Amino acid sequence: EVQLVESGGGLVQPGRSLRLSCAASGFTFDDYAMHWVRQAPGKGLEWVSGISWNSGSIGYADSVKGRFTISRDNAKNSLYLQMNSLRAEDTALYYCAKGDGNGIATAGDYWGQGTLVTVSS
Amino acid sequence: SYVLTQPPSVSVAPGKTARITCGGNNIGSKSVHWYQQKPGQAPVLVIYYDSDRPSGIPERFSGSNSGNTATLTISRVEAGDEADYYCQVWDSSSEVFGGGTKLTVL
């Protein structure tokens, strides 16, 4: 059974940093791309970043480019999102999603339950 | 940047057919994925690559994509289908989601 468990969310002040993690199990992690998708309270889905199976292809939404960094450790079956210079508008539930293929342009066929990030002073 | 346009809401009676549209410039040239999200839950992929169904998704869910419009069709709608639905495409090195459509079962 595919499982994705996010962690690392919490309350953080504007301008500070936070690192999210996603622990994956139930599939061959290094065969698939992975994504971070967020959802602000009461709003729709917003893609944040994606990374191919071997980290050779990475993409970011314009809203986070230059502030967020996605990475993965295939030996640890883990996905990460380093978030710097956080803003109030980054407040959201952050989901980790498994791609349905090894490239970055993939559908998210399994999703975690999300970790909540609140940016506020 | 690429924009996907969905109607904010669609209402349908039980047993009828619901159609949720996703508009985008020449979207027919792209692969469209659809997600269902119920309150308090993570999204679930219901249609990918325009019209394929993941395992476990009922045959009542189908998809099409042509020209400037992709459509998610739900036949014989049930109360349990009430949810938000999102379309998604890949464009110019980023994923793009539509704004979402709330499906209400009357």
Residues B42-90 have pLDDT tens digits of 999 999 999 999 999 999 999 999 999 999 999 999 999 999 999 999 9
Tell me the CB-side half-sphere exposure of residue A120, using CA atoms within 13 A: 7
pLDDT at B13: 98
Interface test mutation site (partner A, options B55, B95, B101, B102, max chain A beta carbons within 10 A): B95
**How confident is the model at residue B93, as a pLDDT?**
86
How buried is B46 (Cβ within 10 angstroms: 0-12 exposed, 13-18 middle, 19+ buried)?
Answer: buried
- Across the range A72-91, mean pLDDT stands at 98
Q: pLDDT tens, A16-45?
A: 999 999 999 999 999 999 999 999 999 999
Residues 6+ apart with CB under 8 A from A39: A45, A46, A92, A93, A95, A114
Band of residue B92 on the pLDDT scale cut at 50, 70, 90: confident
User: Tokens in use for A57?
Assistant: 């292809």
As a whole number of angstroms, the distance between CA B32 and CA B21 comes to: 11
Choose among A50, A95, A114: nearest Cβ to B95: A50
